Amino acid sequence: MPNVIDADLCVIGAGAAGLSVAAGAAQLGRKVVLVEKGKMGGDCLNYGCVPSKALLAAAARAQAMRDGGKFGVYGEPTVDFPAVMAHVRAAVAAIAPHDSQERFEGLGATVIREAGAFVGPRALAAGEHEIRAKHFVVATGSSPAVPPIPGLEAAPYLTNETVFDLDALPGHLVIVGGGPIGCELGQAFRRLGARVTIIDALEILNREDPEAVGLLRARLDAEGVALRERAKIARIDARAGAVSVALEGGETVEGSHLLLAVGRRANVDGLGLEAAGVAYTDKGIVVDDRLRTSNRRIYAAGDVAGGPQFTHLAGDHASTIVRNILFKMPARRRDRLAPRATYTDPEIAAVGLSEEEAAKDHPGARSARWRFADNDRAQTEGRTEGFLKLVADQRGRILGASAAGAGAAEAIGLVCFAMADKMSMRAFTNVMPAYPTRGEIVKRAAGAWYAPALFSDRTRLLVRLLALFD
Known binding-site positions: 53, 116, 140-142, 177-184, 263, 303
Phi, psi (deg, nearest 5) at residue 200? -140, 140
What are the Cα distances from residue 114, in Å, to 175, 191, 268, 356, 450? 33, 40, 15, 47, 57
CB 299 within 8 A of CB 332: no
Pairing of strands 284-285, 298-300: unpaired
Burial (CB < 10 A; 0-12, 13-18, 19+), residue 75, is exposed
Number of Cβ within a 10 Å radius of residue 298:
26
Residue ranges with strand state E in 353-426: 366-371, 386-392, 398-405
Residues written for the chain: 470
Burial 41-69 (b: 16+ CB within 10 A, else e): bbbbbbbbbbbbebbbebbeebbeeeeee
Q: Kindly report whether the peptide bond that precedes residue 346 is cis, defined as omega within 30 degrees of 0.
A: yes
How far apart are alpha carbons 239 and 67 in whole angstroms?
37
How far apart are alpha carbons 169 and 79 in whole angstroms?
10
Q: Which runs of consecutive H residues, i.e. helices, occur in 67-131? A: 81-95, 101-106
How far apart are alpha carbons 299 and 288 in whole angstroms?
9
How far apart are alpha carbons 341 and 412 in whole angstroms?
9
- Cite the annotated binding site for NAD(+) by residue number: 177-184, 263
Provide the residue type at 246 as one letter: A
Q: Which runs of consecutive H residues, i.e. helices, occur in 174-309? A: 180-191, 210-223, 273-276
> Kind and range of the H or E element at 110?
strand 110-112
- Residue 271's nearest CA partner among 76, 37, 22 is 37
Provide the residue type at 428 as one letter: F
How far apart are alpha carbons 153 and 455 in whole angstroms?
64
- Cite the annotated binding site for FAD by residue number: 53, 116, 140-142, 303
- Chain-centre distance for alpha carbon 81: 25
Please list the residues that pair with 266 across neighbouring strands: 142
How far apart are alpha carbons 346 and 364 in whole angstroms?
31
